[in-house]
Structure 1
Amino acid sequence: MDIILGIVGIAVILGLAYLFSNDKKNINFKSIGIMLALQLLITWFMFATEIGAKIINGISAVFNKLIEFGQEGIGFVVGGFELQEGGVFFFNVLLLIVFFATLLSVLNYLKILPTIIKWVGGLVSKVTGIPKIEAFNGVNSIFFGQSEALLAIKAQFHHLTANRLYMVSASAMSSVSASIVGAYIQILPAEYILVSLPLNMFGGLIIASILAPINVPKEEDVVDVQDVSTEKSVFEAMGNGALDGGKIALIVAANLIAFIASLELVNWLIESVLAGVTLQQILGYILAPLSFLMGIAPSEIIEAGSIMGTKIVTNEFVAMLEFQPLMETMSEKTIGIVSVFLTSFANFSSIGIIAGTVKGIDGEKASIVSRFGLKLLFGSILVSILSATIAGLFL
């Protein structure tokens, strides 16, 4: 029954994307079928095979070890505070972003990440039929934030049509930065965070290929990637990475203060009119049908829907922090589905980040992004639902 429900859920998601497609005649169903099959294969391999489980455990162990190293640095700087579970969130979780951003910067300077992204992107393009620059951007978005991912292809922007611009923007919004993954793992189970990364990459390309199909002639399918690393030494890369990580940590902290406080304000206003009702409960009922199709048990769909809705109107960190204490009372399947859903940048604030980045690259293209901003969010939400539904099939 769960499998049938999951298949229906996937069909509904793809159907919604098809309904709002701006060019139904040019949808490449073969490419979409291949990517959907890859999503199913990856999830099955990670969740249902011994080798996949060992790979996830191995990657989790690496992240946990890196987190230990990061906490050593944090402990030295804020040694007057006791860093323990349930302690100061900014110190326990957000400052880890500084260390992970430093590692990414060094790997980028040493050309290790660019090489991996280039070859994996080329493989994805060859297997799926997605144009090279869009495939590269999809892989790039796994490692870097929305702004950095788009900056890497800024030399290609003058070639991007509206539909191609939609696809690269959708990839950036549907994924998460590797520099933040360490912080996520401190809140939610690592295996679900890690499996969501490839699922979201392919999901972003699938949904964008339906909503805004692209057809690039072979002679124009050339990768011209901008090298965004300007550091002259590994020490400069470390310094710049640390500064970037610090900025991200402060931005996340500022957003958490603003969104959580605003959420409390909105709930106070709602409760003054409807006693005992919160925005989260309203969102839970709105998203209940989709939660059911994703494979969440009927007894948990309202709570799960409220968490997912909170993520859409605020951000993933706010939702993760609300979800963390609820996990003790929820089934493992629901925990996995909701965790995968939460692992993306699909929220209202991301529209401004994407539009602002594009404006900095090409002001003319920024007006195009602004026009399809809500459609970009809609597509990214569908990606999160698709990834979570597929994960639910194997839980």
Structure 2
Amino acid sequence: MQTSRQNKDNEIPVTIISLNKLDSEGNRMPPVNSIKDVKIATTLLTTDPDQMDKDDDLVAGGREFFIDRLFDKGKDFVLKHKKRFKQIVYSVLLLLYIAYVVYSLSFRFGDEGAWRLLICTMLLVVYLGWVIIKTLSGYQSFKKSLGSKNPESITKAKKVIRWALYFVVLTLIGVYIGLTVVQTRPRNLISLGGIFVFILILFLMSNNKTNIKWHTVFWGLSLQFGFALVILRTEWGIGAVRWVTDRFMEFIAFSDNGSAFLFSEKYKEFDIIFKAVPSVIVFCAAIAVLSYLGVLAFIIKKFGGFLGYCLQTNPVESINAVTNIFMSGIESLMIINEYIDSLTTSQIFCIYTNGVSSIAGSTLIVFANFGVPVEYLLTASVMSAPAALVAAKTAYPSEESNSAGDRKCSIVNRGGPDSLIQALSKGGMQGLQLMVNVLINLLIYISLFAFVNAAITWFGDRAGIEELTLQKIFSYILWPLAFIMGIDAIDCLKVAEMLGVRMFATLALSYIQMGSYFNNKDQYNKYTALYNNTVLTSSGDIFLPNWNETLKNGILTDRSELISTYAMCGFASLPSVGISLGSFAALAPTRFNELSKMALKGVIAGTIASYITACVAGLLFS
């Protein structure tokens, strides 16, 4: 019942509404004589029409249409069975995709595109199958039963199996080296000696030699040897790496369309600004999408779990080592941010060493634009993960157990995007910020490096030493390290020079020089295919008479190219200390003082990890 009344103060008509219906006990509400007497329960103060009582007569002026009730019932039904509807939609889409794959493969099979479609489909099926299996109650029960009992007989059996595996793996490696390396390429044994030298250096600098887990060292090196054996010595492994590299570069090449649209076709004249920067932006956007969809988390968690199981390292350490293959140091720290405060000092050191022992996937694009082969960078990044764990756990072994080691580490994505479009945009912005930092560092370090070189040259001239430079000093100091890695003696000075620049300046400068050697090699091969007259100058340059072209600093041998590319594949350098410590200070300020005391040791361990990777590659070079 409604009545109208005039308010005498301001002459505003007031409508009095009977609120008997709102009394939960069925008692009649007291009469309303003025606006002050009207009290509305807080539960009714809502602006969401979906939360209002559907039986209330206040809807649509006292009437509720049939279509509104039908829509509300349909909406309630969908929300009630939301999970079931999603499963049906996804199942239909999956069946449609499988039908497309079957038809496409039956229509045309045998070319590269068919194999690409088949491999991608198999990976998709494995991923979806694992997601489904995890949700099954039987799998959860089986998983719990594995760790519920640990009889003494099982413990003894594990020890027997472990020592048996030691013997089998060591025997297989020894037989392979004896039959293939000693008899065909004895020169590669220098790299084998380099592995033992670098392990010895890590042992001597270790803070607690009695706590070193040689199980971790053995299986880390064994995994590296296995990766290198597949990648460098098997036809299908070499073919797989080339296929992945071609697909990778094929995807990155699409960024040229955006560069041409924004900067016109003249963008090719400026490789770094108008070619490398857009490539990195597109790559980071793709990585952000994979992270949003959960694909990246799946890869990192499974590979990290595999490393942790084989090397008996903390799950956080193992996952962080794998994360650094795909992400920069700051992003990989954000993945494990919630665990940092509970880690031990040894584990913090391991996290730091992981970050400086490899290069991020986005930076790989930059170095590829300098002329360095992508397949070398890809394989070196993967092989660096176990090497970083070996170096960290030898230089700073764990002293005590920690609660974080007993927990299951999950992939954390705090403040992540809410949609696919937002992931694309956020990833692109991260790529732009990354390239801004790279360009600023390049500008600063190239300028400062030129200034320091000019100063050293000036002081050398005062003492009668001509053309004294920082590179020349590095080349003589680091010559022994280059040699024991397996670099050909004729190239040791050149490679040692790049190793010094990488250690004391920045990695980008080293790969710029490395890219020039690869470009020189391409030009040299093209020239020698047509002519047979080249001139080697006293400064090491190669002059091509018929083309009137000089290849500055000459070329490297194939062995030296491979080993040096692997040896430099890591961010460990003195300037990187400040950047890494800044990242830790922002994400884990309570551990900053602790890490700052061992940052230099971490840089040395990260550098040696890259050198061990180079030695393994040199041992299997063919």
What is the TM-score with the length of structure 2 in the denominator? 0.62
Matched, 1:336 2:562: yes
Distance 2:284 2:260 in 1: 18
Shift of 1:284: 1.0
Aligned residue identity for 1:289? P
Matched, 1:8 2:193: yes
Secondary structure of the structure 1 residue equivalent to 2:266: coil
Query: Quick one: which of 61, 69, 74 aligns to 2:254?
Result: 69
Distance 1:35 1:370 in 2: 27
Name 1:233's counterpart in structure 2.
Answer: 419
Query: Quick one: which of 284, 287, 302 aligns to 2:493?
Result: 302
Distance 2:405 2:356 in 1: 25
Aligned residue identity for 2:489? P
Aligned residue identity for 2:205? F
Tell me if the contact between 1:147 and 1:353 (Cα under 8 Å) persists in the aligned partners.
no
Tell me if the contact between 2:208 and 2:397 (Cα under 8 Å) persists in the aligned partners.
yes
Deviation readout 1:154-192 (Å, 9 max, x if unpaired): 100121111110001111111211122222223201221
Shift of 1:384: 1.4
Matched, 1:358 2:618: no
Distance 1:46 1:88 in 2: 30
Distance 1:88 1:54 in 2: 29
Deviation readout 1:37-70 (Å, 9 max, x if unpaired): 1101110110110011111111111111012112
Q: Which structure has more helix as a fraction of its residues?
A: 1
Secondary structure of the structure 2 residue equivalent to 1:213: coil
What is the TM-score with the length of structure 1 in the denominator? 0.96
Distance 2:271 2:403 in 1: 53
Matched, 1:390 2:616: yes
Seq. identity, %: 24
Name 1:143's counterpart in structure 2.
Answer: 326
Name 2:517's counterpart in structure 1.
Answer: 326
Aligned residue identity for 1:235? I
Name 2:30's counterpart in structure 1.
Answer: none
Shift of 1:228: 3.5
Matched, 1:129 2:303: no
Tell me if the contact between 1:63 and 1:182 (Cα under 8 Å) persists in the aligned partners.
no
Query: Quick one: which of 222, 239, 249 aligns to 2:435?
Result: 249
Distance 1:5 1:133 in 2: 35
Name 1:200's counterpart in structure 2.
Answer: 384
Distance 1:382 1:27 in 2: 17
Tell me if the contact between 1:106 and 1:238 (Cα under 8 Å) persists in the aligned partners.
yes
Shift of 1:218: 8.3
Name 1:279's counterpart in structure 2.
Answer: 470
Shift of 1:198: 1.7
Distance 1:219 1:143 in 2: 23
Distance 2:241 2:335 in 1: 28
Name 2:358's counterpart in structure 1.
Answer: 175
Distance 1:25 1:363 in 2: 31
Equivalent runs, 1:210-225 vs 2, <5 Å: 210-214=394-398, 215-216=400-401, 220-222=405-407, 223-225=409-411
Tell me if the contact between 1:156 and 1:225 (Cα under 8 Å) persists in the aligned partners.
no
Change (3 A) 1:200 1:220: closer
Tell me if the contact between 2:359 and 2:571 (Cα under 8 Å) persists in the aligned partners.
yes
Shift of 1:80: 5.6
Tell me if the contact between 1:155 and 1:225 (Cα under 8 Å) persists in the aligned partners.
no
Query: Quick one: which of 347, 359, 363 aligns to 1:164?
Result: 347
Deviation readout 1:196-248 (Å, 9 max, x if unpaired): 01221111000001011125368842214422352110111111111110011
Query: Quick one: which of 273, 276, 279 aligns to 1:96?
Result: 279
Query: Could you tell which deviates more after superposition, 336-345 or 287-296?
Result: 336-345
Secondary structure of the structure 1 residue equivalent to 2:500: helix
Aligned residue identity for 1:238? L
Secondary structure of the structure 1 residue equivalent to 2:254: helix
Deviation readout 1:333-355 (Å, 9 max, x if unpaired): 11111111222111122212221
Matched, 1:113 2:327: no
Tell me if the contact between 2:267 and 2:275 (Cα under 8 Å) persists in the aligned partners.
no
Aligned residues: 393
Name 2:593's counterpart in structure 1.
Answer: 367
Deviation readout 1:263-285 (Å, 9 max, x if unpaired): 11111001101130111111111
Secondary structure of the structure 1 residue equivalent to 2:264: coil
Change (3 A) 1:269 1:219: closer
Gaps of 5+ in 1: none
Name 2:223's counterpart in structure 1.
Answer: 38
Tell me if the contact between 1:150 and 1:169 (Cα under 8 Å) persists in the aligned partners.
no
Query: Could you tell which deviates more after superposition, 227-236 or 105-114?
Result: 227-236
Q: Which has the larger radius of gyration?
A: 2
Query: Could you tell which deviates more after superposition, 29-38 or 350-359?
Result: 350-359
Matched, 1:270 2:449: no
Distance 1:155 1:288 in 2: 43
Tell me if the contact between 1:46 and 1:56 (Cα under 8 Å) persists in the aligned partners.
yes
Aligned residue identity for 1:232? D
Distance 2:599 2:216 in 1: 25
Query: Could you tell which deviates more after superposition, 365-374 or 226-235?
Result: 226-235
Give runs of ≥4 in structure 1 deviating > 3 Å: 215-220
Tell me if the contact between 1:131 and 1:216 (Cα under 8 Å) persists in the aligned partners.
no
Structure showing greater relative contact order (alpha-carbon pairs closer than 8 Å, 6 or more residues apart)? 1
Shift of 1:2: 2.2
Tell me if the contact between 2:344 and 2:402 (Cα under 8 Å) persists in the aligned partners.
no
Deviation readout 1:10-34 (Å, 9 max, x if unpaired): 1110000000101111111012101
